[in-house]
Structure 1
C-alpha cells in the first residue's frame, strides 16, 4: 500500500540538521531518532511537519527506505525577529509551575497560547526583571536531513480522520 491522503503512516528515521552561515554549511548533526522502539505515526496530510516532508513521502510504500533534505525555506524558514519577545519574569512564578532552573538562558519553557495549544519558547537572555524569549520554532534556520524507513502504511479509520490523529497502539488513545 502506498502513502497518500488519509492513510496512516509509520516511520523510523534519524533527523539531522545543518545551517548555512557566511556561505559555510555546518556538518549535519543529529537532533532526533525515532527507532523501532518509538516510531513516528501520523495521518498523511495531517503530520504537522513541513508540507515538503509529506510531499517527498507521497507515493512511497511500506518497507521503502527514504533519504532527503528539506531546505530552510521549505522547512521552518528563517528566524522572525517579531517572535523575540520580552516578558516580565513574574509571569513565570512557582505558582504557575515554573522553577528557577527553567528560566536559565538556553532552556525551553513549556507554554500554552490563548487557545490552549502547547508551544514553547527558548530563554535567550535574562534581563533582570524580564526575560527575552524566542518563540520561533526550534528548527528555524536549519536544513532538515531525514533518513529512514517506512514501516507501515494503512487506511485511516473514520474516527482517526475526524480526530486528526492516529488511534491504537501507536496513537494517542489505546483501544
Structure 2
C-alpha cells in the first residue's frame, strides 16, 4: 500500500536541524532519532505536521527510504513575537500538577489549549511573580533535515479516522 490520505504511517528517522543567520548556514545537528524501538506513527492527512513533510512522503511504500530537507518556510516558519507571553506563576501551582523543578528557565511546560489539545511552552525567564513563556513551536526558525525509512503503511480504521489519530500499540489508547 502506498502512503495516501487516511493511511496510518510508521516511520523511523533521524531529524537534524540547521539555521541560517547572516547568509551562513550552521552545520545540521541531530535533535531526534526515532528507531525501531520507538517508531513515529501518524495519520496521513490529519497529522498536523508541515504540509510539505506529508507531500514528500506521499506515494511511498513500506520499506522505502527517504531523505529530504524542509526549509524554514516549509516547516514551522519564523518565530512569532505575539506567542511570547508573561503569565502569572500562580497559574502553574501544585494543584494544577506543576512542581517547582518544572518551572525552571529552559524547561518546556506540558499544557493544554482551550480545546483540550496538548501543547507546550518554553520558559524563557523567571520574572519573580511571572514567567516569560514562548508558545512558538520548538522548531521555528530551523531547516529540518530528515533521513529515514517507511516501516509500515496501512489503512486507518474507522475509529482512527473518527478520532483523528492512530490507536493501538503505536498510537493513543482510548
Instruction: Place the TM-score, normalised by the shorter chain, in its bin.
Output: over 0.9
Aligned residue for 1:22? 22
Aligned residue for 1:60? 60
C-alpha displacement of 1:46: 1.4
C-alpha displacement of 1:127: 1.3
C-alpha displacement of 1:116: 1.7
The CA distance in 1 between the partners of 2:75 and 2:126, in whole Å, is 29
The one-character-per-residue Cα deviations of 1:135-171 (angstroms, maximum 9, x if unpaired) are 1011111111111001111222222212212222222
Runs of 4+ in structure 1 deviating by more than 3 angstroms, as ranges, are none
The CA distance in 2 between the partners of 1:143 and 1:46, in whole Å, is 22
In angstroms, what is the RMSD of aligned CA positions? Answer: 1.4
Aligned residue for 1:118? 118
| SS of the residue 1:101 aligns to | helix
Name structure 2 gaps, 5 residues minimum.
Answer: none
Aligned residue for 1:136? 136
The CA distance in 2 between the partners of 1:103 and 1:73, in whole Å, is 31
C-alpha displacement of 1:97: 1.8
| SS of the residue 1:52 aligns to | helix
Give 1:17-96 correspondences, 5 Å limit.
Answer: 17-96=17-96
The CA distance in 1 between the partners of 2:95 and 2:156, in whole Å, is 42
C-alpha displacement of 1:109: 1.0
Aligned residue for 1:164? 164
C-alpha displacement of 1:23: 1.4
Aligned residue for 2:105? 105
Name structure 1 gaps, 5 residues minimum.
Answer: none
- The TM-score, its normalising length taken from structure 1, stands at 0.94
C-alpha displacement of 1:42: 1.4
